[in-house]
Structure 1
């Protein structure tokens, strides 16, 4: 008696059966440049768009201007497209658009957004990136959440095709640099200044999110927050440093209605947050689909030596370990929303290290939805946190300021060609009912 395999071979051949290409044994392996379909992992870059003030409000650092994006935005967006990227973290210049209550200047935004739409680029719109319009003052202003919410609603109405948003970029860093470290905007150096800034920023993000959802109920909110950690190499720990390692979660605790521990809660109450305000934050998380974005640079990790000296530890824990802590705390889908390194020659190695972190995280069952090399173009003065206007070029872009590729651009292209069509979620079924053929569920 013949084996059933013999009958199959005689009828259909020795493997590679018709239909395998639709997610079977011969299905797609996930390689190839991104297609832009909803099931693709989101490979992205960003346009550096910081615009805080320094010199006590006398000087505005606008990186879109300093990197010449206003004049070369079509060229920059073409670079995104030509590299094969479909997703772009893009910050509209809030301080230039929102001229006053109910007053907006959309000229540049309309031109840039139309070009993105023409090129088929999906923007993750970043609506507040380290600064506010002059008429709003700074982050100590309690009216910020109301006025910013109006702006978010106006953006969502004007660009109804946009689904992905970051209402407020890096809330923790914004509040710390402005209210505690004395570097930007209000330039305060107090705990009360920090708490005031962070509660106004989180409230602005929540209310802005509400207005976006009003016009786009299926909005996807990709929060971008710095993944921080300080290693203290002392036998007797310093309370202030240990509190700091807890405060790094504060912005997301308030945003996602996650109760912090008693020490942090007492810190909030001691520095100006009222019980009524706290209860408002804990009432529930914002609407829409919430994605927890973690930004990781090696310089986010610091080591404090026994003598008090601080050195950058560069990847002791790394993005995987730090972000896993955040994931365990909030149980949100994750995106690697920013990374780079200032030395151009080291860019490719840093890119591959970050990608290894992402593959490991996905293999461990954590839903990592996307990755971002930040930014497309070299930056200026970020080695000193924009604190002083020197004009030092930081060679961290995929392209330099002349729009010539850095070595990391070729590495990113290689990564995209190998992994560009992997699914957004591994190890599981994620599908929409449509007329498109099925795809292979790729193991990564």
Structure 2
């Protein structure tokens, strides 16, 4: 029995790309199909279990299971449920991962009601088929980022192109999210919720210091709209509260540190730029703003730098722990590779790469340096390296993580390569 038990059965988590947005000129996309995750669900989950990863972010594709008029077909996720039972990996279910059904309009007064009806049906379905409880959900994934990509940059439906549309979309998603949490808890009182958005840092161009105020607003106000609404810090009419935020999930990628552009997206800072902030600073800022337990909900390096990235993130995470942050885990996302949304080429950012065979099948090939680095950190944190028959007999012992942080005393470092 853990003296200081965490929320999850393992400290390292993972997950699978599952976006179902309506994309620019392409139309509806299903990234899960593009990575063949449904076909390879058993293999993908066995990979995580063999690596001692007992939690996976997984998606229920709202646009694909919602048949309209309050009817739903959840057969799409049966391969995931089967694989989770067989491997004993605990899912965090994304109920809306960048995409809503064609018959829904996020700016319509009935949007929240549509989402709530679906979210409750989905939550009850997976809870009835779960191998372990309580169930965990992310109602709306990355609301603030979705507001940008679909409300201001016109990457995805509803294809907005200005700041006002972005804010309207963000708050509409928040309203639906908050209502869904309340409705799910009425049916499943023990359910937990992980709300997720990116950690960002925005600086003005060196030759345009007059944009400093706009960059500051982007970083310290707009980046937190969703969490502020969901936690009740802002927009109290939406009904948010700290308990609804529940667990704060902070995504961290290199492109989250940016130079401001008046017409976004902003430009990612290059490695070695002296304006980059240590990740520990960003974690501390977000965590202390809300006072909730938190996780790094997505993070990954690219290509040959994945092991170095994990080393940096682990050190920064432990530096944050030494500052008193209640960090519950690190999600190495994705578990298997995913395509660049814009180019279609593989990013080489997963624990396993995808190699296309002559048959068209995508073979999973673990990137060994990344795996080796994960093993090293599991050893340092006294964590399991492979799931046993009952990974839920004890939660993560957070005292082990805090002990390792105190002994290693990592220094927060802005020099990321």
- Deviation sequence 1:71-105 (CA, Å, 0-9, x none): 21111111111222111111122211112131111
Structure 2 residue aligned with 1:237: 211
Residues 180 and 193, structure 1, Cα contact 8 Å, conserved in 2 = yes
Residue 370 of structure 1: SS of its match in structure 2? strand
1:75 aligns with 2:43: yes
Q: Does 1:42 align with 2:5?
A: no
- Structure 2 residue 144 is matched with structure 1 residue 172: yes
State the 4+ residue runs in structure 1 displaced beyond 4 angstroms: 36-41, 286-289
Q: Specify the SS of the correspondent of 1:294.
A: strand
Once residues 154 and 39 of structure 1 are traced to their aligned partners in structure 2, the CA distance between those partners, rounded to angstroms, is: 24
Q: Give the superposition deviation at 1:106.
A: 1.2
Change over 3 Å in CA distance of 1:148–1:420 after alignment to 2: farther
Task: Tell me how far 1:239 sits from its aligned partner.
Answer: 4.1
Residues 1:351 and 2:310 aligned together: yes
What is the rounded CA distance, in whole Å, between the counterparts of 2:334 and 2:42 in structure 1?
Answer: 16
Counterpart CA distance in 1 for 2:268 and 2:178 is 35
After superposition, give the CA deviation of every residue in 1:199-258 in whole Å (9 maximum; x if it has no partner): 111011111111221222122211111111211134433543332222111111111111
State the Cα deviation string for residues 12-32 of structure 1 (Å, max 9, x = none): xxxxxxxxxx99xxxx9x9xx
Rg: which structure is higher? 1
The normalised TM-score by structure 1 is 0.77
| Contiguous gaps of at least 5 residues in structure 2 | 355-362, 385-392, 405-417
> Contact 1:298–1:318 at 8 Å: present in 2 too?
no
Match of 2:237 among 280, 284, 294: 280
Match of 1:54 among 23, 39, 51: 23
The superposition leaves residues 254-284 of structure 1 with CA deviations (integer Å, 9 ceiling, x where unpaired) of 111113xxxxxxxxxxxxxxxxxx4412x44
For 1:35-184, list aligned pairs within 5 A: 40-55=9-24, 59-137=27-105, 139-160=106-127, 161=130, 162=133, 163-184=135-156
**2: CA distance, partners of 1:61 / 1:440:** 39
Q: Quick one: structure 1 residues 211 and 359, their matched pair in 2 at CA, closer, same or farther if it must change by over 3 Å?
A: same
Whole-angstrom distance in 2 between the partners of 1:257 and 1:62: 33
- Deviation (angstroms), 1:360: 1.0
Query: Which secondary structure state, in structure 2, belongs to the residue aligned with residue 176 of structure 1?
Result: helix
* Equivalent pair of 2:22/2:157 in contact (CA under 8 Å): yes
Aligned residues: 371
Aligned Cα root-mean-square deviation (Å): 2.9
CA-to-partner distance for each residue in 1:142-174, whole Å, 9 max, x for gaps?
Answer: 322111111111122112245211111100010
Cα deviation 1:36-74 (Å, max 9, x = unaligned): 996755310110111211236x51222101111122111
Give how far 1:305 is off: 9.4
Unmatched 5+ stretches in structure 1: 1-21, 31-35, 260-277, 423-434
Q: SS of the counterpart of 1:218?
A: coil
Which one of 306, 323, 339 corresponds to residue 380 of structure 1?
339
Q: Counterparts in 2 of 1:342-421, with a 5 A limit? A: 342=302, 344-381=303-340, 386=341, 388=342, 390-401=343-354, 402-406=363-367, 407-421=369-383
User: Following the alignment from structure 1 to structure 2, what is the Cα–Cα distance between the partners of residues 400 and 39?
Assistant: 26
- What residue is the counterpart of 1:430 in the other structure? none
2:389 match: none
Q: Is the 8 A contact 2:10 2:53 kept in 1?
A: no
Distance 1:142 1:195 in 2: 16
Alpha carbons of structure 1 residues 248 and 76: separation in structure 2 relative to 1, 3 Å: same
Match of residue 172 from structure 2: 200
